A and B are shown apart, each in its own frame.
Chain A
Amino acid sequence: MTATDTRAGSLVSTGRIGDSPPRPDGIIKAQGAFAFSSDLPIDGAMWGATLRSPHPYARIVSIDVTPAWKVPGVEAVVTAADVPGKETYGLIAADQPVFASDHVRYVGQPVAAIAADHPETCRRALAAIDVTYEVLEPLLDPEAAIAGDHPPIHPDGNILRHQRIRCGDVDAVGDVVVEGTYEIGMQDQAFLGLEAAVAVPDDDGLGIELHIATQWLHEDRKQVAACLGLADDRVRLVLGGVGGAFGAREDISLQVHACLLALRLRRPVRMAYSRAESFLGHVHRHPAKIWMRHHATADGRLVKVEARFVLDGGAFASTSSAVLLNAITHTQGPYRCLNAVVEGYAVRTNHLPCGAMRGFGVVQACFAHEGQMDRLAAACGLDPVEIRLRNAMETGDPLITGQVMESVAPVARCIRETAALPMPVEAVGQAADSGAQDAMRLPGGAGRTADVGHVRRGIGWGVAMKNLMYSEGFDDYSTARCGLADGVATLKFATAEVGQGFVTIAQQIARTVLGVQTVILEPIDTSIGSAGSTSASRQTWMSGGAVDAACRAVRERLFEHVGAIHGLDPLRLVIDGREVVDSLGDLRVAVDDVTTGVRFEETVEFHHRPTEELDADGQGNCHTAFAFVAHRAVVDVDPDLGLLKVIQVATAQDVGRALNPLSVLGQIEGGISQGLGLAVMEEIVQIDGVVRNASFTDYLLPTFLDMPDVVATLVEEPDPQAPLGAKGAGEPPCISVTPAIVAAVRNALAQFDAEQGRADRPFLARAPIRPSDIAL
Chain B
Amino acid sequence: MSANYKLHVNGRTHDVADAWVGESLLYVLRERLGLMGSKGACEQGECGSCSVLLDGDLVCSCLVLAASAVDRPIVTVEGLGERGVPTDLQRAFVDAGGVQCGFCTPGLIVAAHALLERTPDPTLTEIREELSGNLCRCTGYGRIIEAVRRVADERHDRNGQA
Contacts and interface: CB of A to CB of B under 8 A. Distances in A.
A668 B105 CA distance: 19
B162 interface: no
Interface in A273-308: 274-275
Contact of B105 (A30, A674, A707): A30
B97 A670 contact: no
A190 B38 CA distance: 18
The B interface, classified by DSSP as helix, strand, loop or mixed, is loop
Contacts of B90: 27, 30-31
Interface in B13-43: 20, 22, 27, 30-31, 34-43
A671 B36 contact: no
A33 to B, nearest CB: 6
A561 interface: no
A32 B78 contact: yes
A665 B94 CA distance: 14
Interface in A477-509: 498-501
Contacts of B49: 192
A666 B77 contact: no
Contacts of B101: 191-193, 242-245, 498-499
Interface string B98-125: 0111111110010000000000000111
Most chain A CB within a 10 A radius of its CB, from B41, B90, B91 = B41
Contact of A33 (B37, B44, B144): B37
B83 interface: yes
Nearest to B130: A704
Given A23-B99, A36-B103, A243-B103, A31 B81 contact: yes
A707 B99 contact: no
Nearest to A660: B97
A26 interface: yes
A673 interface: yes
Interface stretch (B63-71, B135-143, B151-159): B135-143
Contacts of B129: 440, 704-705
Nearest to A706: B132
Contacts of B83: 31, 33
Nearest to B127: A704
A607 interface: no
A666 B124 contact: no
A36 B145 CA distance: 24
Most chain A CB within a 10 A radius of its CB, from B31, B140, B141 = B140
B94 A672 contact: no
Given A22-B95, A194-B41, A29 B143 contact: no
Contacts of B137: 189-192, 244, 246, 670, 673-674, 701
Most chain B CB within a 10 A radius of its CB, from A31, A189, A191, A665 = A31
B99 A244 contact: no
Contact of A704 (B27, B47, B132): B132
B86 to A, nearest CB: 5
Nearest to B81: A31
Contacts of B99: 23, 26, 29-30
Interface in B67-97: 76-78, 81, 83-84, 86, 90-91, 93-95, 97
B31 to A, nearest CB: 7
A672 B40 CA distance: 25
Contact of B37 (A26, A32, A189, A194): A32
Most chain A CB within a 10 A radius of its CB, from B31, B36, B43, B97 = B97
Interface string A26-70: 110111111110110100000000000000000000000000000
Interface string A235-251: 00000011111100000
Given A38-B39, A705-B128, A32 B106 contact: yes
A761 B160 CA distance: 57
Nearest to A734: B140
Interface string A649-666: 000000000000011011
Given A30-B105, A193-B101, A707-B142, 14 more contacts: A26-B93, A26-B102, A32-B76, A244-B103, A275-B42, A499-B100, A662-B97, A666-B97, A672-B140, A673-B139, A703-B135, A704-B127, A707-B140, A707-B141
